[in-house]
Chain A
């Protein structure tokens, strides 16, 4: 089945460092998205990368997609304490509207 699986499950870094989170999936996709969730709150869309794209930037975020390896990475540069949250990848494929989420990476940025 199509699944997004992130690693690591948890990541703790110091403010100012870069954070890299990875996502793997199993089937072909149309798009891959990254979402952020503060504890107990809603999902905030961060960035979408299409299957024909390899890299995308948005502010301090950089996303890569390797369709041959069925994997994506999210890099947050110069992290801040406010970046502390869980980060999820979500994929969609042709013929279906649903997003399939991974279990997420819990990022802690220590001040």
Chain B
């Protein structure tokens, strides 16, 4: 069964450093998403991406965050200057349509900011 692949599975970074989280969505999917889950809290929507541009973003997704699809396969989330409160599990997802269903989530990247 097709999978969404995320790398790395765990990343530790110093506060203030830039991090890039990588995702390989399912190949025929057109819609891409990032969500995050702070330990013990809800999964929260960050951003959706379609046709090489952001289609929707949450208030969490401020200027410190950016997304990119640099080639035909990767989808990245960059955090420019990490803060302690950015520590969370970050999930990438993709779907073939935009109707909120048919999502496939990756297994996540656990980001720890120290």
Contact = CB atoms under 8 A, between A and B. Distances in A.
Main secondary structure of the interface of B (DSSP, over half): strand
Nearest to A38: B107
The size class of the interface chain A forms with chain B is 20 to 34
A97 to B, nearest CB: 5
Interface residues of B, number: 26
Contacts of B31: 97
Residue with the highest number of chain B CB atoms closer than 10 Å, among A40, A90, A92, A97:
A97
Interface of B: 31, 33, 35, 41-45, 48, 55-56, 58, 89, 91, 93, 98-101, 103-108, 110
9 contacts: A41-B108, A42-B106, A42-B108, A48-B101, A92-B99, A97-B33, A97-B48, A101-B43, A102-B42
